[in-house]
Structure 1
């Protein structure tokens, strides 16, 4: 019997194929989760013991913090997620080196966090329970934090300690980061060893201020200094048949220095790196031996704790010798970046006047507190917007948010079981890191990823062949 493709069947096939080519909404998120620890190896041991069996109260608090972080991640339910401040290990050995990790590398800690925390449900009867979340793909890059430089970078007369590492860290790998994705990670580019001096017009050798860095650092130090305090990593994920570049980093805080403002200037140029990268700058080279930035028209999402508020705080901004500077403004005012929607949360405004604060810094802030993403000391610098998820201008934003609920009862302890208990009041000394989870809040943006025109062309060509076959068989 000859099988024929009737017009109705062809129409159904057309509808099915067209549906497969529709836009897909994808949630990208960043969370500085404070999953760093005070000593090498502690994160691995914490994540290997989710039940906190046989440990002291202080260790149990650390493990509970990891559970709280996991629950927040589950409630945000991002498809692609960057976790900042996640101690690095190489196959279970806490360390850091200048060797780039390959595509598909996941640290043991990242795997333990998935298996023992993210895969397990959390919550309670008050705020509701969550289901486990599974990320099929992970990538953990190496990091400059705690990696000895061999130089006295803070000029204190001694070559030792976190300040003299390529990126601040009291041990190798502290404050690293890792990426989780529900979509396939198809390529990675890292820029851990890119030298600061190789950025044209950088603030290391072209410092316009009176306290310039060319006078602070020796020539040998200038020749060795790396731009990235942790790493800059382009993690490319394939969504709806096309590639989206997830541009991840964690620039140094613009503080903990002196009048020379070495960290503020480095923070500025770490942020500038992505502005140049998305513009396709040809001076850029990666750890894999390739050069150049993104191609024109590439889709990307910039994410991370960038330690820079557009209006408040200590990031490098203002006018120097007639030149305007604004560290995060290099991205927020960039025409290649979609800033039509700014994530907000009511908890930021609530925290700005919370009685747990210890000063008046928030009262002098210019920025909208609902856009803040970090609960810092109200003595200084106050709460700030420092965590960002910034899609490219050719991606449409469908929604956004910050996981920062309002405190429902300022007179109650953070033990009532509501969602606020996951973020807590400012600096509770009884908790690890002084918070139930972190001083930073999870931030997310939903974008639509639509097939490229050539995908539609291929679809139509295929349907044309189907129609031709149907006519021949009819």
Structure 2
């Protein structure tokens, strides 16, 4: 059972997590700290409610990581918009995985820069191109071992394609983040011999709202992936309404048993937990 939850208020969403009974849980917008204290506290609270997810994975994300540049052009360095990913401190709003099964990092694409990405929409003359990373949070390929079988999770949490100006820098960055795994699948097929599951927050609906919708559509039509929850909203924002921004897209070689978007928990923020049950053949 694969679960994806955008953790605006992770502690408030514990009851939803327990109700979903995940074998594997991907969390986004969860702070990273030394010793993984926050993540361990969440594990303990889940265990107290009868859900034991003993294995975990998290690394320091790009959020809040200094670039040394004045990215936002305000004449100062070191602000939250000057970081590799928006953040007032290093590790703000990162990602984490909890699992019943062992987790092993297969690849980390979080340090790929715009200048490394031949298909990037960022202009070649962007002064930050050689320093700024594509990933605003992290792009991890993490392999889960279930008995003698394995599946590789391709995680992401893309920047919102808003909060910028007519240059659409965030929109273009969101596009590049959403498509980064498709480039890696094409260019490094040897890394992904196990079935894959692309899982995370695109911050992009394929039709509604702002952003370059073609990026989401391209991922959804990828020949290796299947979409078990077509066009179901996963978030409800006050001003813009319902959209689909969180995704769990299994490899076509995996059998999907069931899939669902959990009901909104009022105290846990606007995002809903998305889950997909698959069997490993």
- Tell me which interval the TM-score lies in, with the shorter structure as reference length: over 0.9
Structure 1 equivalent of residue 144 of structure 2: 237
Q: Structure 2 length normalisation: TM-score?
A: 0.94
Structure 2 equivalent of residue 90 of structure 1: 34
**Secondary structure class of the residue paired with 1:375:** strand
Structure 1 equivalent of residue 25 of structure 2: 81
Question: How far 1:231 moved relative to its partner?
Answer: 0.8
Question: How far 1:277 moved relative to its partner?
Answer: 2.0
Question: How far 1:298 moved relative to its partner?
Answer: 3.2
**Secondary structure class of the residue paired with 1:222:** coil
1:185-219 C-alpha deviation (Å, 9 max, x unpaired):
1344222221121111211136xxxxxxx3xx32x
1:336-391 C-alpha deviation (Å, 9 max, x unpaired):
1012x216xxxxxxxxxxxxxxxxxxxxxxxx5xx11111123xx33210000000
**1:100-119 maps to which residues of 2 (within 5 A)?**
107-115=36-44, 117-119=45-47
From the superposition, tell whether residues 377 and 166 of structure 1 become closer, same or farther in structure 2 (CA, over 3 Å). same
Number of residue pairs the alignment of both structures matches: 281
- Between the aligned partners of 2:192 and 2:105, the Cα distance in structure 1 is 18
Matched, 1:136 2:54: yes
- Between the aligned partners of 1:386 and 1:148, the Cα distance in structure 2 is 27
- Between the aligned partners of 1:302 and 1:198, the Cα distance in structure 2 is 22
Runs of 4+ in 1 over 6 A off after TM superposition: none
1:308-355 C-alpha deviation (Å, 9 max, x unpaired):
1000111113xxxxxxxx12112101111012x216xxxxxxxxxxxx
Alignment RMSD, CA only? 1.7
Matched, 1:449 2:273: no
Structure 1 equivalent of residue 6 of structure 2: 32
Q: Flag the structure with higher strand content.
A: 2
Structure 1 equivalent of residue 157 of structure 2: 250
Q: Flag the structure with higher helix content.
A: 1
- Between the aligned partners of 2:184 and 2:244, the Cα distance in structure 1 is 23
Q: Structure 1 length normalisation: TM-score?
A: 0.57
From the superposition, tell whether residues 223 and 187 of structure 1 become closer, same or farther in structure 2 (CA, over 3 Å). closer
Structure 2 equivalent of residue 390 of structure 1: 249
**Secondary structure class of the residue paired with 2:25:** strand
Verify the 8 A CA contact 2:152 2:192 in the aligned structure 1.
no
- Between the aligned partners of 2:106 and 2:42, the Cα distance in structure 1 is 22
Verify the 8 A CA contact 2:254 2:280 in the aligned structure 1.
yes
Matched, 1:440 2:278: no
- Between the aligned partners of 1:297 and 1:248, the Cα distance in structure 2 is 17
- Between the aligned partners of 1:277 and 1:392, the Cα distance in structure 2 is 15
Unaligned 5+ runs, structure 1: 1-26, 36-64, 92-106, 122-131, 207-213, 282-291, 318-325, 344-367, 406-422, 425-435, 451-474
**Secondary structure class of the residue paired with 2:174:** helix
Unaligned 5+ runs, structure 2: none
